[in-house]
Amino acid sequence: MADKNFYYLGTLTKPFGLKGALCAYFDVDDCERYLDLDAVFIETDGEMLPYMIEDLQFRGNNQFVIKLQDVDIDNVREFVQTELYLPLSRLPKLTGNRFYFHEVIGFQVVDEQLGEIGTCKGFMELTNNPLMQVDHDGTEILIPASSEFVTNVDRENKTLHVTTPEGLVELYLSR
């Protein structure tokens, strides 16, 4: 399990060429933000170890060719299907109603109609449908974490304002 001070960047997918380079897929929205990387981190035996980047080439569609220092043709296959990480400090700051899941954990969740629901405890990342896990006095309530339902992120007051579908919260509380 990755260190909480790091975020998942992508995966090394296969060897490239004869000098120990690898193809990589970066799971990011804006690849251009990552063109100046000088290092990535790889989890090894529960520790995040830095690997310096000798060369990084963007190939389009979130695909890169990356040459890591100390990786050569003899050991390149050991890195195939390895996940890459970066420190959270490398994440660009988001403003407005855009947020990273880790930054709103602990925020109070307030529904437009029902008032305060509870505290954001985490997220379940389902394909294209992340769900916010809200603790309401020991009962977990799952709320879609899309911009359709999260209407305001108040970082100053640590509050998430939501508009939940009619009956959703009541469904969890009637058990």
For 134-152, the pLDDT digits (tens) are 999 999 999 999 889 999 9
Token couple for 80: 């195939």
Tell me the pLDDT tens digit for each residue of 163-172.
Answer: 999 999 999 9
User: Do β-strands 108-111 and 159-162 pair in parallel, antiparallel, or remain unpaired?
Assistant: parallel
Residue 100: predicted pLDDT? 87
**What gap in Å lies between CA 113 and CA 31, rounded to an integer?**
39
pLDDT in tens, 65-123: 999 999 999 999 999 999 999 998 888 888 888 888 888 999 999 999 999 999 999 99
Q: What is the pTM of this model?
A: 0.70
- The answer to whether residues 53 and 41 touch, using CB atoms and an 8 Å cutoff, is no
Mean pLDDT of 18-36: 92
- Work out whether the CA dihedral 113, 150, 130, 45 comes out positive or negative: negative
Confidence of residue 126 (pLDDT cuts 50, 70, 90): confident
- 11 pLDDT more than 90: yes
For each of the domains in the chain, give its residue range(s) and CATH number, in order of start. Answer: 6-90 (2.40.30.60), 101-173 (2.30.30.240)
- Least confident residue range of 11-15, 126-130, 166-170: 126-130
- Sorting pLDDT into bands at 50, 70 and 90, what band is 125? confident
In this prediction, residue 113 carries a pLDDT of 92
Report DSSP letters for 6-63, one per residue. Answer: EEEEEEEEEEETTTTEEEEEE--S-GGGGTT--EEEEEETTEEEEEEEEEEEEEETTE
pLDDT at 29 over 90: no
| Structure-model confidence comparison of residues 94 and 64, the more confident one | 64
Stretch 47-63: mean pLDDT, rounded?
A: 95
| Average pLDDT, integer, range 23-37 | 91
Nearest to 37 by CA among 52, 22, 47: 52
Measured CA to CA, the distance from residue 55 to residue 142 in angstroms comes to 43
